[in-house]
Structure 1
Amino acid sequence: MENTATVSGTEVKKYRRAGFMDEVRGFCILCMVVYHVCFDLNYTYNIHIPIMFDGWFDIVRDIFAGAFMFISGMSSRYSHNNAKRGIQCFFIGMIITFIFAFFAPSAPILFGILHFMGVSMMIYAIGDKFFLKIPAPVGIAVCAVLFLLTRGIMYGYLGPAQGVGIKLPEFIYNAGLLFPLGFRAPSFQSMDYFPLLPWFFVFLAGAYTGKYAIEDKMPAFFYKTHCKPLALAGRYTLWIYVLHQPVAMVFFLLIFGRI
């Protein structure tokens, strides 16, 4: 169901809020908070957390991060100003980059989730007219294929798996400035890193799926709120992400006497 509202003399569409989408986004951001706390405890305070060294833990981390990106892509279909949202998100990401460069130079954040989300929103804002010309089912399928083809770029090859992929030239990676795309140099280090390739295709697949959400074509449960605390967290994910690390640092300072 959609209706309209007038903002600054311009009529804009308003869509029914998707409570389940807020809940999934809230759950994902809380999982990210738990992950970062575990990371800090393990690597900063030498408190061994065994699950962080299991291979499946990285897979689970990427699944939740991917779900967050997908939901954010869906949310872009609801927004009337993705460019502004993208600039704000990227700007906050850069503030975090400078804070870590000053206070924790050994743990830089060069293209983390906020940088990724900001750039993805801006790309979508610029290209939305082109993206929307592609039927949603086709767009979702193409995004899935492109994700599989580009998922190995961070590791030096093009293809779904190293054994069946094409090795990419080393000079692309040694250039040093293409890390936002996934071409990271051997010396590259970032404690939070989600390059545009392959992750932008997850965001874009979410944007195509969002078409069904704004047209009320999703199941009824999608539009209902089942857990108010999760839904509330999902509406303030940016603030939770920005504030959770300073709060954690204060807590660790009280417990361990140092940051």
Structure 2
Amino acid sequence: MARYADRFWEIDCLRGLAVLLMLLYHFLYDLNFFEIANVQLRSGLILYAGRFSALLFILISGAALSISHSRALKKKFAGNEAENFSKYLKRGIKLYLMGLLLTVITWIFLPEEYIVFGILHFFGVSAVLVYPFLDYGKENLLFSLFFGLIGLYLRNMTFGFSSLLWLGFTPENFSTLDYFPIFPWFGVLLAGVCLGNFLYSGGKRQFEIPYTGKNPLIRMFSRTGQHSLVIYFIHQPLFLGLLFLSGLLNLNML
């Protein structure tokens, strides 16, 4: 099938690519963090793979939100803004709670670098914040630029408070394993929304693309993309378990 449960295979495939790049980066990060191997993560191909993974993941999520919204307007949620918004609110709460669970886990095991506002927190908040932007078209490019430029401006600055950390106002001496503030990453999400509105207007593909779903590599990427949230949530425990069973990691290193 060209679609799986009304999904566009090419979007799932790109999301799967983002997930696999993320898995590679995080596995190498673990090897470096636990001093199993000396891996250069601050420059070179590995660094760009990690950044590209996050960028692609968020961009695709914005496009998917646009498609979902377009379809909802045509179906049972048409004309019912409250019911339509509730879908995004529920998803946002679910993702944010999953993020809070990671906060608790990392606070227990890695208290010096525990996750305060990682990518799941970001997706949870963004699922709600993005709703009023979903009806805009090219205007989202301007909004995207606004959030992006503010984020770049704040990137190298620190502040004496932590209440606006989620926006991108980084506190002094702040260290964390995962940090995706609204500025600039919400700008990337809005760029994805703009792409979704243009390439999949009305929830339908606006371009021709040959279906290559029988290719085993394409199928692997696509299936991975369909289960990206589950994979993201469980991959680190699986990595640690693999390293432990291989003998490369012991409990004293945790």
TM-score by structure 2 length? Answer: 0.80
Matched, 1:92 2:134: no
Q: Which runs of 5+ in 2 are unaligned?
A: 73-86
Matched, 1:76 2:65: yes
Kept after mapping to 1: 8 A contact 2:147/2:186: no
Aligned length: 224
Once residues 228 and 58 of structure 2 are traced to their aligned partners in structure 1, the CA distance between those partners, rounded to angstroms, is 12
Question: What code does the residue aligned with 2:149 have?
Answer: L
Kept after mapping to 1: 8 A contact 2:168/2:183: yes
Question: What code does the residue aligned with 2:114 have?
Answer: P
Deviation track 1:195-248 (CA, whole Å, cap 9, x = no partner) reads 100110110121122123143353222876461111111111110000101111
Structure number having the greater strand percentage:
1
Deviation track 1:162-213 (CA, whole Å, cap 9, x = no partner) reads xxxxxxxx6xx21222111111112211111111001101101211221231
Once residues 120 and 249 of structure 1 are traced to their aligned partners in structure 2, the CA distance between those partners, rounded to angstroms, is 30
SS of match in other structure, 1:35? helix
- Identity, % of aligned positions: 29
Kept after mapping to 2: 8 A contact 1:140/1:209: no
Q: Which runs of 5+ in 1 are unaligned?
A: 1-14, 157-169
Q: Which residue of 2 aligns with 1:150?
A: 151
Equivalent residue for 1:122, pick from 125, 128, 133: 128
Equivalent residue for 1:181, pick from 144, 167, 170: 167
SS of match in other structure, 1:238? helix
Kept after mapping to 2: 8 A contact 1:181/1:195: yes
Q: Which residue of 1 aligns with 2:208?
A: 220
Matched, 1:194 2:180: yes
Deviation at residue 138 of structure 1 after TM alignment:
2.9
SS of match in other structure, 1:176? coil
Q: Which residue of 2 aligns with 1:3?
A: none
Once residues 174 and 62 of structure 1 are traced to their aligned partners in structure 2, the CA distance between those partners, rounded to angstroms, is 27
Deviation at residue 67 of structure 1 after TM alignment:
1.1
Compared CA separation, residues 96 and 74, structure 1 to 2 (3 A): same
Question: What code does the residue aligned with 1:95 have?
Answer: L
Q: Which residue of 2 aligns with 1:210?
A: 196
TM-score by structure 1 length? Answer: 0.78
